[in-house]
Amino acid sequence: MKTVLIVGASRGIGWEFARQYRQSGWRVLATARDEASLGALAGLGAEVFSVDVNDVLKIASLQTRAATCIALHPGWVRTEMGGPRAPLAVEHGVAAMREVLVQAAGAQASFHGRFRQYDGTALDW
């Protein structure tokens, strides 16, 4: 079973990643900061961890090996942060980013260390 770690999954883009990956049958490790969100993520079938990204020691314990690291611009997305006027639905943006991640896993050399838009378009740093 494939595994994904989603840091900041209580709402918005992180929540949608957790929802879609669970729907696709993945093992989802999801973090949030409050008990209600941890419970909601557990309800999706995720394994949950209480993490604040300002807690450096906890983040260090989540390190992975042999990872392909890419930065993704999610577009302007209708979330709490993006607001109601954003043109992109979170379901569509996350589905597109998942497709980019599939491509990245199969072509590490052309994705590692790069900056891409949600639809895969290369962006300058």
Ligand X SMILES: NC(=O)c1ccc[n+]([C@@H]2O[C@H](COP(=O)([O-])OP(=O)(O)OC[C@H]3O[C@@H](n4cnc5c(N)ncnc54)[C@H](OP(=O)(O)O)[C@@H]3O)[C@@H](O)[C@H]2O)c1
The reply to whether 54 sits near ligand X by the rule CB under 6 A is yes
Strand 115-117 to strand 122-123: parallel, antiparallel, or no bridges (unpaired)? antiparallel
The reply to whether 74 sits near ligand X by the rule CB under 6 A is yes
Q: CB-wise, 55 or 99, nearer to ligand X?
A: 55
Find the binder of ligand X among 5, 11, 108, 120 (CB under 6 A): 11
Interface region with ligand X, contact rule CB under 6 A, candidates 63-71, 79-87, 96-104, 113-121: 79-87
Q: How far apart are CA 70 and CA 104, in angstroms?
A: 8
